[in-house]
Structure 1
Amino acid sequence: MFTALRKMLREWRGLQAFKRIPREERTLVFYSEGRGYWTYFEPIYKALQAGHEAPILYVTSAENDPLLEKPLPGMRSFYIGEGSMRTLFFATLDADVLLMTMPDLQSFHIKRSPFSVHYVYLHHSIVSTHMIYRAAAFDHFDSILCVGPHHVQETRAREQQLGLPQKALIEHGYGRLDTILDSGRQGPPDRNGEPVQVLVAPTWGENGLIERHGLDVIKPLIDAGLRVVLRPHPRTRKLHPEILDKIAAYYVNEPRFRLDEDADATTSLLDSDIMLSDWSGAALEFSLGLERPIIFADVPRKVLNPEYAVLGIEPIEVQAREHLGVVVTTDKLAQLGNIADTMAADSKKWQTALNDARQCWIYNSGQSGETAAAYLISLIKQ
């Protein structure tokens, strides 16, 4: 009880500290729903500081967010939690511009403020807007920083279909992808005689690869002599910890298996030859950023909008499968080891095609931060 009270008091103090900031200094606010989301904001923050020296008010729901203890230059940070103080923060927000990665604004308890705030949505996945998100997920934003042409096409189609006012759609790109590209690690990693490493990075939910198949996904890879890094979605840990604990216990003495639950997990990404995924947006990041192929397990689609087909546009994550790797039906999971070995041997052949796909599907590769920063500054100066 006392722990909960102390937490609420800390959140209340964070909200009050934000409100004490003079209104003329509340020009640009970043809202982060968790500590793992900074990777999407970071390229924009860097561009804002380098090109515009723009101050940032950083508001986070993550109690352990490192930017609370050590804010970056030009940043003031505030903790509001994810309960009643967050709801109050949104309901009373008075600022010029709010940048956020959380969809469903206005649909549930997180509402638009009565003040004239400009709400900008920052995509935290390359995937399409109309299948794995709720139907109205983006309807109430003023601007959307679009990853590629698919986001523009989908958003405009929905606006036209429902008679919604047009939002400002910015040809932005994808900062997370730019960070991966900056690593210079494109193509197959140098193995130095070590076994091929497979990164298992599925999405979450009742149809998620780990939720449905658990050990049956990992075992064929380990049995084939490969190294495996399992990077579950944080929601899998929250909703089905027993599945992850069972896998970890089974391979507790296996040096070729590792469970990676780091919020960033960049090292696992860079060091892996192949990714095994399902409908996770991480597959597109891996493939388009590192130019390495994907094994897609053909579990049922992740669908939060059952009427997505009405839009008449095939989601990019469905289109991408035939371009980024191979699809394996779930009755052939036992063959995953052989499939991964074969794909790793042919990895060089994938590079050109994956580079071409990135140029076609993603805006402003390598420059998304500068594009977003210039747009946000233009909103402040209006």
Structure 2
Amino acid sequence: IQAVMRYMGLPAAQRRLTFYCEGINYWPHLEGLLKQILATSDIPVCYITSDAKDPGLSYQHKNLQTFKINEGFIRNYLFENLQTEVMVMTMPDLHQYQVKRSKHPVHYVYVQHSLVSLHMIYRKGAFDHFDSICCAGEHHKKEIRAMEKTYALPKKNLIEHGYARLDSIIKNAQGKQKQANKPRHILIAPTWGENCTIESGIGEKIIDQLIDAHYKVTLRPHPQTIKFANDKIRSILSKHQNNDLFHYEGNVAGQESLHASDVMICDWSGAALEYAFGLKKPVLFIDVPRKVNNKDYQEIGIEPFEVSIRDKIGCVLAADGDVVTAIENLKPIEANTSYYYKNANVNGAKAILNLLTKTS
């Protein structure tokens, strides 16, 4: 409550621009944008997070004020009464559930935290209540325009933003001498959901097969899998955690395992796209059912990007297929870089600062 009072008590000039972050795993998607705005303008910025471990809380800058506000009633009250010119966030479903648009005029900007399409994995209407959408690539622009046309929605401001995490992965890969790992290092990084690789039990069988074949394996589950399917994680850890070939990574904010591994095993996670485009390494997709949170996704008539791109950045393996043979047969990929915009932080900061001049 004190943080809410402190924020709401600021003079209007000090809270023209506000960022909201759900937690540590989303910081990498907002960090560069925040720092670029602070570096290239004198605009005061407020940064609100619901996670005490969020690195944004400890970032120091004369024009930055940070606030820790828990999820739940207090946060929902703040959102409904928010008085800021521009609100930047990477949490979809604004105004669909507990988190509402403010009763005051606020321009809401959505920042992508994945390269996947916007109409299958996300819930229907997830972006309807934003004023501006940061697009990672042309596919996002086409999808938003198709949704607007199909559902007679007001036209949004679309920003050719790019994808900061991908820029960061590419930058961090420069100068790293890539040695072929012996044994080969397999990164398992699926998405979450009842039919997905870990939750369905397929993940444990795959890890067993890989360890038996003397591959090095890193398991990097989605934060939501850790939260909702911890029994599956514990079962894998109890079996393999003392094996030198096995490593568990419980934080998806870092990049080390992406750079260190040779192949990713995935299902419908956007991490596969980051891996292939950022590092030009192949992905083995486990053919579990599509992750569909919008059963009407076909209404806009566009094949989701994460479906159409699969055979260009790796291959698809049946859920009961021979994972060892599939890995050995994976071909190197030439990931096309035309799928996304470059220099996300520069593009995004310019667009947001431009919005502030329009709202003032």
Q: TM-score, normalised by structure 2?
A: 0.95
Partner Cα distance (2:230, 2:144) in 1: 36
Moved more, 53-62 or 130-139: 53-62
Amino acid at match of 1:144: I
Provide, for residues 91-122 of structure 1, a one-character-per-residue CA deviation record: whole Å limited to 9, x for no partner. Answer: 01000100000011111111111111100000
Shift, 1:336, TM fit: 1.1
Amino acid at match of 2:236: I
8 Å CA contact 1:186–1:290 kept in 2: the answer is: no
Residues 1:362 and 2:349 are matched in the alignment: no
Shift, 1:40, TM fit: 0.4
Amino acid at match of 1:206: E
Amino acid at match of 1:234: P
Amino acid at match of 1:94: Q
Q: What's the counterpart of residue 121 of structure 1?
A: 110
Residues 1:255 and 2:255 are matched in the alignment: no
Partner Cα distance (1:214, 1:194) in 2: 22
Residues 1:94 and 2:83 are matched in the alignment: yes
Q: What's the counterpart of residue 331 of structure 1?
A: 320
Q: What's the counterpart of residue 51 of structure 2?
A: 62
Partner Cα distance (2:298, 2:98) in 1: 27
Q: What's the counterpart of residue 5 of structure 1?
A: none
Counting matched residue pairs gives 357
8 Å CA contact 2:15–2:44 kept in 1: the answer is: no
Residues 1:199 and 2:187 are matched in the alignment: yes
SS in 1 for 2:265: strand
Amino acid at match of 2:204: L
Amino acid at match of 1:375: A
Change in 2 beyond 3 A, CA 1:297/1:199: same
SS in 1 for 2:199: helix
SS in 2 for 1:112: coil
Shift, 1:35, TM fit: 1.1
Q: TM-score, normalised by structure 1?
A: 0.90
Q: 1:341 is matched with which residue: 317, 322, 328? A: 328
8 Å CA contact 1:224–1:338 kept in 2: the answer is: no
SS in 2 for 1:221: helix
Change in 2 beyond 3 A, CA 1:374/1:289: same
Shift, 1:173, TM fit: 0.6
Instruction: Kindly report which structure 2 residues correspond to 1:160-239, keeping only aligned pairs within 5 A, or say none.
Output: 160-185=149-174, 189-191=178-180, 194-212=182-200, 213-239=202-228
Partner Cα distance (1:270, 1:131) in 2: 29
Amino acid at match of 2:340: I
Shift, 1:16, TM fit: 1.1
Shift, 1:14, TM fit: 1.2
SS in 2 for 1:292: coil
Partner Cα distance (1:317, 1:381) in 2: 36
Partner Cα distance (2:89, 2:355) in 1: 15
Partner Cα distance (1:179, 1:87) in 2: 32
Shift, 1:52, TM fit: 2.2
Shift, 1:69, TM fit: 4.1
Q: 1:34 is matched with which residue: 18, 23, 27? A: 23
Provide, for residues 68-98 of structure 1, a one-character-per-residue CA deviation record: whole Å limited to 9, x for no partner. Answer: 2454553211011111111011001000100
Provide, for residues 156-199 of structure 1, a one-character-per-residue CA deviation record: whole Å limited to 9, x for no partner. Answer: 111111111100011111011010011134999313x6311111
Q: 2:286 is matched with which residue: 281, 294, 297? A: 297
Shift, 1:28, TM fit: 1.0
Identity of aligned residues (%): 41
User: Which structure shows the bigger proportion of residues in helix conformation?
Assistant: 1
8 Å CA contact 1:187–1:290 kept in 2: the answer is: no
Amino acid at match of 2:327: A
Residues 1:25 and 2:14 are matched in the alignment: yes
Gaps of 5+ in 1: 1-11
8 Å CA contact 2:27–2:54 kept in 1: the answer is: no
Q: 2:38 is matched with which residue: 49, 58, 62? A: 49
Amino acid at match of 2:349: A
Amino acid at match of 2:219: L
SS in 2 for 1:296: strand
Provide, for residues 9-59 of structure 1, a one-character-per-residue CA deviation record: whole Å limited to 9, x for no partner. Answer: xxx111111112111111111100111111001221232133224332100
Gaps of 5+ in 2: none
8 Å CA contact 1:71–1:77 kept in 2: the answer is: no
Partner Cα distance (2:318, 2:175) in 1: 28
Moved more, 92-101 or 213-222: 213-222
8 Å CA contact 2:210–2:217 kept in 1: the answer is: yes
SS in 1 for 2:198: helix
Partner Cα distance (2:104, 2:159) in 1: 23
Q: What's the counterpart of residue 268 of structure 2?
A: 279
